[in-house]
Amino acid sequence: MLAEIRKQFYKDTLKELEGINGKLASDNIPPEEQSLIAEKVFSVSHQISGTGPMLGFDSTSLLSKKLESTFYDIRRGEKKITLQLLWQTKRAIDAMIKSFNEENNSQ
């Protein structure tokens, strides 16, 4: 049962990460879309940092905590979305995808 939950979590979360990554690959992200991406990044990183450790995705969870914290601050209005931040987010998500795949394949 747990293996089935883990497999579904991996499949769904990887799809979410790749979707965000695809949107971040664009050179010109309109401001209204930036806020939607920010919400999605927060949601997925929160999900990974909360559920990931229970399913054996410890390294990916650690990576996601920084993104979660940053995008939590954006949601609260304490930080602004910049092109630099979005570029760094893309790099962080690339690292998370790599870690997520490695952890999944090691099980």
Query: With a threshold of 0.85, does the pTM exceed it?
Result: yes
pLDDT of 62-101, one tens digit each? Answer: 999 999 999 999 999 999 998 899 999 999 999 999 999 9
Sequence ranges of the domains in the chain: 35-107
DSSP characters over the chain: -HHHHHHHHHHHHHHHHHHHHHHHT-S---HHHHHHHHHHHHHHHHHHHHHGGGGT-HHHHHHHHHHHHHHHHHHTTSS---HHHHHHHHHHHHHHHHHHHHHHHT-
